[in-house]
Structure 1
């Protein structure tokens, strides 16, 4: 399998089982973040690794955030979120160490965090592991972010659930790239996929 074939075989999954990467494997995987595009070399990505019993503790912070954001949140939704956070083999909180006063626009700092997270997801796949990037309402709760070490203006970008793809892990059907590519020759570009969405 060529490197490109390997990249094209990557897919996101939360059908994850043990083992998760050990400390040495995870250090190498997270080092892939340092290769991400990063205007200004600000390295705005931060990773909080949550293992073992800490998963249940962070799950309770997630539940508290859910109730704070929506006092009428359903018990079913609470239990689903609690279960996911407390049973995933490994959880990584994606932090954004943002500098709003810097000449590099905040949007470019956020894009660097996203690019680094994609590098980490690729590195997981390349080393035989799997993962999925999740967000949801709690990602945007400043109090929850602060509880994980990201006081404003710093924020969360979501979480990576990490482990080994289990027997239920299945790649999604991929769209063909053609509709997302257009050649520019002067007039404003149009994309086939957007035309089909409009119909």
Structure 2
């Protein structure tokens, strides 16, 4: 796949089925992720793969997180949380490990991890693997982070769902760059 075609036409693929990516495909995805811009070479990222029975267990962790927040969680919310990780054969938890550094603020480190996640998404698309980055309230829940074994200085930035696309890919909307770009006038 041509690199520019990949960059311009990558889309999120929310409907995913078996099979999950192969070990070789995953290796390529993580190699691409590790090429993210990284001021200070802090490597502030970490990833967890979740598949098989672990997807079901993640759904139970989501349920427990909801119940820890609220005593009477509606049954439909419990069922929805339980099924969330089952929407794909594999998930990758994207984790930022923010470190104290005199020249690289935490916000830059979070941006580096987001770039790493984007690299993973691009490498998935290039290999024909369907992928979508999902966040939501449970991605930012400390109960979930603790259940995944994250340290106090680590932040869950979401989950990348991976699998085989169901149906054809949607077309990326064509946006006019001129709507988002302007020239700075230093004389003002």
CA deviations 1:130-169 (Å, max 9, x no partner) are 2111111112222221221212121100100111211164
Which residue of structure 1 aligns with residue 136 of structure 2? 136
The CA deviation at 1:72 is: 4.5
CA distance in 2, matches of 1:79, 1:127: 33
Which residue of structure 1 aligns with residue 83 of structure 2? 83
SS at match of 1:35: coil
Q: Structure 2 unaligned runs (5+)?
A: none
Which residue of structure 1 aligns with residue 109 of structure 2? 109
CA deviations 1:31-88 (Å, max 9, x no partner) are 1111100111111111100011110001110111122234444332332232231241
CA distance in 1, matches of 2:142, 2:25: 31
Q: Could you tell me the TM-score, scaled by structure 1's length?
A: 0.86
CA distance in 2, matches of 1:75, 1:46: 33
CA distance in 2, matches of 1:145, 1:134: 15
- How many residues get paired? 187
Q: Structure 1 unaligned runs (5+)?
A: 189-199
Is the 8 Å Cα contact of residues 6 and 122 (structure 2) preserved in structure 1? no
CA distance in 2, matches of 1:60, 1:117: 25
Moved more, 118-127 or 23-32: 23-32
